[in-house]
Structure formats: structure tokens, C-alpha cells
């Protein structure tokens, strides 16, 4: 049985997802290099390896930044004790304004 606060479990899950982003970034770079190498072999020109590497780095970094910002927003989101369907009108400002 797990002992911990709900927020700690959420932070741990998000931390593992952030760690997974490193592997995703490396795979983007590797894929770019592999495609560049393939084009270099096909066209007998070595410039495609560097081009593929640069494109792989750019897409990997864009994916890393986008994923990290998304996970950071999830981490900063407040942890609610109840789901949205179970909230009382006092906890939801929209419901409070409708009942007034």
C-alpha cells in the first residue's frame, strides 16, 4: 500500500513523464541523423548527415520544451479534494453566481 499525499503521487508521476521526455528528445535527434545518413547514402553527398542532425535537434528541443511546459502546468495545477461533479456551489464560483 502506498503511503503519501495525493499531490506527492501526482508530482512523482509528472517527474517520471519529464524524465521520459529526455528519451523522446534523443529519439528525435537519432531519427534526424538516421534520415540524414540515408539521404547522404542515396545522394552521395555528406551534407545531409549534418542537415538531418540539425533538424533532429530542432524538433527534439521543440518537443522537449512543449512537453515540459505542459507537464509543468499540470504540476502547478491545484490538487482538488473532490471531482468537479461533486463540488458544492460554495467551492465553484460559477455556481455561486448562478444561485444569486
Ramachandran category for residue 44: left, alpha or beta (phi over 0 → left; psi -120 to 50 → alpha): left
* Enclosing H/E stretch for 53: helix 47-76
More reliable by pLDDT, 59 or 11: 59
pLDDT at 1 over 50: no
Cell 495545477 appears where? 77
Q: What angle do CA 78, 83, 85 make, to 5 degrees?
A: 135
Enumerate the domain spans of the chain.
20-76
Q: Choose among 38, 59, 58: nearest CA to 48.
A: 38
Q: How confident is the model at residue 51 (pLDDT cuts 50, 70, 90)?
A: very high
Cell of 76: 502547478
Q: Determine the average pLDDT of the residues in 48-62.
A: 94
Cell 456551489 appears where? 89
CB atoms within 10 A of CB 56: 22
Query: Percentages helix, strand, coil for the chain, rounded to the nearest 5?
Result: 80, 0, 20
Q: How confident is the model at residue 2 (pLDDT cuts 50, 70, 90)?
A: low
Amino acid at each position: 500500500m502506498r503511503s503519501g499525499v495525493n499531490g506527492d503521487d501526482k508530482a512523482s508521476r509528472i517527474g517520471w513523464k519529464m524524465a521520459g521526455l529526455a528519451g523522446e528528445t534523443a529519439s528525435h535527434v537519432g531519427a534526424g541523423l538516421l534520415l540524414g545518413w540515408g539521404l547522404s547514402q542515396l545522394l552521395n553527398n555528406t551534407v545531409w548527415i549534418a542537415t538531418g542532425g540539425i533538424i533532429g535537434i530542432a524538433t527534439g528541443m521543440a518537443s522537449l520544451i512543449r512537453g515540459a511546459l505542459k507537464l509543468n502546468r499540470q504540476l502547478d495545477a491545484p490538487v482538488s479534494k473532490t471531482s468537479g461533479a461533486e463540488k458544492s456551489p460554495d467551492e465553484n464560483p460559477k455556481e455561486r453566481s448562478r444561485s444569486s
